[in-house]
Structure 1
Amino acid sequence: MRWIAFFLILLNFGVFAWFVGTSTSDKERIRVADKRAEVQVQSIALVNEISPQKLSPVPVAPMSPAKASSTEQLCTLLGPFAEELFGEAIVQRLKSLQVSAVLRDVEMQGQMRYWVFLPPLNSRREAYNRLRELQAQGIDSYVIPKGALADGISFGIFSERSRAESLTGELIEKGIRAQFREEPQTHAERWIVLAPGASDSLAPDFWLQLQQEHPELDRRRNLCAEVSG
């Protein structure tokens, strides 16, 4: 009977120890879970609270490049031709190669000229009256009959700027309100004009052969708008 009582006491101690251990383990697990949750909560932050330097860049698909602004078209010029028949023969040669070309007169800019003049007066009669006054002073001049300076007085056109400036200064000293301006000298030349991009279809051998046959010809490019007929 005594051994049975002693056994029951030991059994009660064992149950008590197991219960205490289980409770402590559960508490530890709960404490660890709470710490993990706390860490996760602390790791959450609003985007506007984070420094821009710490934000990872978001990949953005590259935009397609905008189309380049269209430029004015360029035409190929071949020439000049002193004789029209000679130019037409090469035009036909180009057309046989399915290349669009035409022979036309093109205004070419030459040497710059400097025009000394008196601006247009109110009428043609007033212009001639002023002309007589100038000629009475021994000043060589004439009335400009047409153009933008019609009814003005011309004192001459010079190839050198210095001469135009000198004469203008002399006239101003005499009380004549003369001016001068640049006048590009132009002249017509016969050139073959190829359509934009037409020359690109020709093989390099064609241009080489043409240069060997006609070394005096020049090939250049110009704005189509400036050489259109």
Structure 2
Amino acid sequence: MRWTFILLVLANIGLLAWFMSSGDPAPVRVAPAAQDERAASITLLSEADPASLVDADEAPASPEVSEPPPPSNETASATGGLCTLVGPFELAYQGEDVAQRLQALQLEASLEEIEMQGQMRYWVFLAPLNSSQEAFRKLRELQAAGIDSYVIPKGSLENGISFGIFSEIERAESLKKDLNRRGFAAEFREEPQTYLERWVVLGVSDGGRLEDAVAEGFWDQLQRDYPDVERRQNLCSEIRRGSEE
């Protein structure tokens, strides 16, 4: 019994000495778990926008926006394009001379009579009647009333009665009102006045730009030879030639 007690005391003393010599164990550092930025806030599925539930990594990339290609010469031709006109020429031989100079530069050029827009006019008339016989009966009635008039022989107002064409709209309106008061259903419409001028019309050059085909010195010399001529551009589709009438 005594030896058992002595062995226990010695064992306890040995354990105490071992613990005192080993010291405190070094503390273990625990790194905080990385926090996902997307987990910073919690949103219930019932409260979330369905569009926001798609993962950003799975979202389709935005397509690159590319500039539209510049219009080609075929596109310009399809829309009519611009024609260059040089003129006007009072005498035909002057226009022919300029056309030949441009043709020498391998350009399509020709002297043509072009219909030009003049001053607006106003035509006072009675609407066309069913036949020329009715038109002349109405004419006699108007002339008996002292109203100057004549039967329109052709055109869109054929078999109508004309009371005159005026350059001022006020005069046309005044005559129309006077005829209406006298019991005649007169009306008036705008009639654009046109006239013909000689112009050299140029086609489109191979490069599509007239400035690239004709040097500026050519135009300077042309201006010295023909001081009154000018150069202008117009839509080819809107050029009305005298031969088209």
> What residue number does 2:168 align with?
160
Once the two structures are superposed, what CA deviation does each residue of 1:129-156 show, in whole Å capped at 9, x if it has no partner? Answer: 1111111101000111111111110000
The 3-state SS of whatever aligns with 1:80 is strand
How many residues align? The count is 214
> What residue number does 2:136 align with?
128
> What residue number does 2:184 align with?
176
Q: Point out where structure 1 has 5 or more consecutive residues left out of the alignment.
A: none
> What residue number does 2:14 align with?
8
Query: Aligned match of 1:110 in 111, 118, 122?
Result: 118
Once the two structures are superposed, what CA deviation does each residue of 1:78-130 show, in whole Å capped at 9, x if it has no partner? Answer: 11222222211211111111122111111111111110000111121111111
Q: What letter corresponds to residue 15 of structure 2 in structure 1?
A: I
Closer, same or farther: CA 49–213 of 1 in aligned 2, 3 Å: same
Q: Point out where structure 2 has 5 or more consecutive residues left out of the alignment.
A: 1-5
Closer, same or farther: CA 6–212 of 1 in aligned 2, 3 Å: same
Asked if the contact 1:99/1:198 (under 8 Å) is kept, the reply is: no
Distance 1:12 1:135 in 2: 148
Deviation at 1:177, TM superposition (A): 0.7
Q: Moved runs in structure 1, 4+ residues, more than 4 A?
A: 1-7, 14-18, 44-51, 66-71
The 3-state SS of whatever aligns with 1:170 is helix
Closer, same or farther: CA 45–67 of 1 in aligned 2, 3 Å: farther
> What residue number does 1:224 align with?
236
Distance 2:133 2:20 in 1: 140
Distance 1:218 1:67 in 2: 30
Distance 1:202 1:128 in 2: 60
TM-score (norm 1): 0.78
With 62-71 and 190-199 compared, the bigger mean Cα shift is at: 62-71
Query: Aligned match of 1:211 in 210, 213, 223?
Result: 223
Deviation at 1:48, TM superposition (A): 4.5
Distance 2:11 2:238 in 1: 127
Please state if 1:61 is matched with 2:64. yes
- Identity percentage of aligned residues: 47
Closer, same or farther: CA 61–132 of 1 in aligned 2, 3 Å: same
> What residue number does 1:74 align with?
82
Q: What letter corresponds to residue 61 of structure 1 in structure 2?
A: E
TM-score (norm 2): 0.74
Distance 2:42 2:69 in 1: 39
Query: Aligned match of 2:106 in 92, 98, 116?
Result: 98
Closer, same or farther: CA 123–45 of 1 in aligned 2, 3 Å: farther
Asked if the contact 1:109/1:184 (under 8 Å) is kept, the reply is: yes
Deviation at 1:218, TM superposition (A): 2.1
With 67-76 and 170-179 compared, the bigger mean Cα shift is at: 67-76
Structure with bigger helix share is: 1
Asked if the contact 2:115/2:240 (under 8 Å) is kept, the reply is: no
Q: What letter corresponds to residue 199 of structure 1 in structure 2?
A: L
Query: Aligned match of 1:43 in 40, 57, 64?
Result: 40
The 3-state SS of whatever aligns with 1:192 is strand
> What residue number does 1:199 align with?
210
Distance 2:50 2:136 in 1: 87
Distance 1:91 1:138 in 2: 55
Distance 1:167 1:184 in 2: 19
Closer, same or farther: CA 166–205 of 1 in aligned 2, 3 Å: same
Distance 2:21 2:159 in 1: 132
Distance 1:8 1:155 in 2: 143
